[in-house]
Structure 1
Amino acid sequence: MIIRAVKIEDAKAINQLNTYPLNHEYPLEDAKRQLIYLVSSPTNQLFVSVIDEKVVGYIQLSEYVCTYGPKLMNIMALVVNEDIHGQGIGKSLLNHAELWAKENNAEGIRLNSGVERTKAHKFYEHQGYKRVKNQVNFRKLFD
């Protein structure tokens, strides 16, 4: 397994991981446009895990800066192909992201995880993450 920075050519594999197991269906062409933007952004980073030249997982980080706390990196997504859970891929991606965050002067990492993702919560807690609070997530899309 290798972990490397994302490439635009990874868009299809990432889109498939977003669809299953994350259940975030999004048109591939739109996802590719988003990926192009993210790759060019200095405040975002994506890493993929590759086995036998196939993307099997990824992690996405975004800078989280506010007036009421230190600079953190926000994990926007962490997903590994469910067929290979338990092999240390998620942990490796998380460790790689933490190292990148430190190198980019972040004081820590934050993340949100859906209330139904209880296995993911146990994973994060096992990696040293502390549950801080429960939230309700709101969204408004513009026409």
Structure 2
Amino acid sequence: MSALKNLVPARFLTLSAHLVIIITIFWSRDNNVKSCLPLEFTEEQFKTEDTRIVVALSVTLGLLAVELAGFFSGVSMFNSNQSLLSLVAHSSASVSLSLFVFQQWPCWTIWIIFSLCSVVPAVLELVLLISWK
């Protein structure tokens, strides 16, 4: 039982860290898009990559909202499997997104981070929310 008590604050912290990094990337989106593009790029290339990043970050924020709703409602707060999965996924997302910003990874890598670290825990959170009585 003590391990479960330690998962709850750790999960909250990793969810918060992921949220803060996503918001930070939104604020500095212009610089992140420019770092993904070649040195000489057209305005159309910039708009295309900017739209892709905005979509990925917006959907990630939506999925984080779903997870936070399930967490704060108590549906999954004390579910150890969901807590562990969420802890691993969001800590991985936080580290990966930090590396995305600092090492100037290509823009398509945000979709891999999104699919592995945001979609999987959010889908399982939705399953828990739907099956909750």
TM-score normalised according to structure 2 size = 0.29
Query: TM-score normalized by structure 1?
Result: 0.28
Higher helix residue share: 2
Say which structure, 1 or 2, has more relative contact order (CA 8 Å, 6+ apart): 2
